[in-house]
Amino acid sequence: MKAVYNNILGAISEGKTLLAVLIDPDKMDIKKAAVFVEKINQSVATHIFVGGSTVDEYATEILVNEIKSYTELPIVLFPGDVSQITHQADALLFLSLISGHNPDYLIGKHVEAVSKLKDSDLEIIPTGYILIENGKETSVEKVTKTKPLPRENLQRIAHTAKAGELLGMRLIYLEAGSGALSPVPLEIISFVKQELDIPLIVGGGIKTKKQLDAAYKAGADLVVIGTAFEEDEHFFDALKF
């Protein structure tokens, strides 16, 4: 059953915008999870993503189990490593870092994950992950030992996204990186969207409602926010029902 992906497609066909709040297990105090998830429940968020570049073993499963106690929103894994896979979530973004040239993150880690996934009920969603340069080195760069695509090379970014689709990816994720100095430029979002026939996710560096709305207008089907939602009460208030 592909409930999460089909629901994304259904929402897009109805013209709805989708919003995911990303929770990093390495940064979330488990004692504060209930209060934070309640804030998410009060907002227009449609999904909860869980994951980070470096996470202690078992931290993801503990956090997902805690989150499930307080929400009915779909919980989607956004893993930085095989150790972050837990069967307690609803779906997994099976990320392939197609912007880099490290074989571990193109296929190697996926091979490692098979033993965990072959008998799992997790909905597995192949996702082409594209890191866009944002002005500073991100944790993704450090962990994967790859470089982001230069933001001025629109054609290369768009062709990379389209190549991911042609390889069978069901989502394309444009990422500026956690705590990015600036979000993915709107012209990149628009240019990539024109190339694709699959949903487009955009994340990293979005800190205001104005930036969020601009990303949707440029073509993002699902936007991911993280630290800004957690740290900025004004941003949270702007996203309340």
Per-residue pLDDT tens for 18-36?
Answer: 999 999 988 888 999 999 9
Q: Is the Cβ–Cβ distance between 175 and 141 less than 8 Å? A: no
Give the span between the Cα atoms of 108 and 114, in whole angstroms.
Answer: 10
User: What is the per-residue pLDDT across 92-104, written as a single tens digit (0 to 9) for each?
Assistant: 999 999 999 999 9
State the pairing for strand pair 222-225/18-23: parallel
pTM of the model: 0.95
User: What is the per-residue pLDDT across 182-235, written as a single tens digit (0 to 9) for each?
Assistant: 899 999 999 999 999 999 999 998 999 999 999 999 999 999 998 677 777 778
User: What is the per-residue pLDDT across 117-174, written as a single tens digit (0 to 9) for each?
Assistant: 998 999 999 999 999 998 888 888 888 999 999 999 999 999 999 999 999 999 999 9
- pLDDT, mean over the chain: 93
At 241 the pLDDT is 74
At 56 the pLDDT is 80
Can you tell me the mean pLDDT for 106-121? 94
Q: Which two tokens stand for residue 206?
A: 């979005």
222 forms beta bridges with 18, 201
At 70 the pLDDT is 96
Angle value at C-alpha 200, between 198 and 204, nearest 5 degrees: 160
DSSP element (H, E) containing 36: helix 33-41
Which residue reads 């994950």 in tokens? Answer: 113
pLDDT at 1 > cutoff 50: no
At 135 the pLDDT is 80
Helices 59-68/33-41 angle, 10° precision: 50
Q: Which two tokens stand for residue 59?
A: 């931290």
Give the span between the Cα atoms of 38 and 203, in whole angstroms.
Answer: 22
126 forms beta bridges with 94
Give the span between the Cα atoms of 5 and 112, in whole angstroms.
Answer: 24
| DSSP assigned state of 184 | P
pLDDT at 68 > cutoff 90: yes
Q: Residue 89's closest CA among 111, 56, 107, 66?
A: 66
